[in-house]
């Protein structure tokens, strides 16, 4: 295509750089977590990386719940045409 525009994320090496930078950022945040003085109401909230892991597993749980709800609530493709 003569007129198509190439974006910077269209190149595979740039996607790899962004992916690697995300892993580095997560590792740095996990390493500085013990240096932050926390005043939490519950002891488990002070565990290393608790909120990161909690957020990740909560997101996975939401996706799995949505998939289960889809099986329960899905209708045939022509559901509204039959009426």
Each residue's pLDDT tens digit, 41-67? 999 899 998 998 999 999 999 999 999
Q: H/E element holding 4?
A: none
Residue corresponding to tokens 């559901």: 79
DSSP helix/strand/coil, 47: coil
Q: Residue ranges per domain, the chain?
A: 8-73
Flag whether pLDDT at 3 surpasses 80.
no
CB 35 within 8 A of CB 48: no
| pTM metric for this prediction | 0.65
Cβ within 8 Å of residue 8, ≥6 positions away? 14
């Amino acid at each position: 295509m003569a007129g198509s525009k190439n974006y910077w994320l269209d190149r595979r090496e740039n996607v790899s750089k962004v992916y690697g930078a995300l892993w580095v950022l997560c590792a740095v945040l996990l390493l500085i977590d013990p240096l932050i003085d926390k005043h939490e109401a519950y002891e488990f909230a002070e565990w290393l990386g608790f909120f990161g892991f909690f957020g990740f597993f909560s997101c996975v749980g939401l996706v799995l719940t949505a998939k289960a709800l889809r099986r329960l609530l899905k209708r045939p493709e022509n559901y509204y045409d039959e009426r």
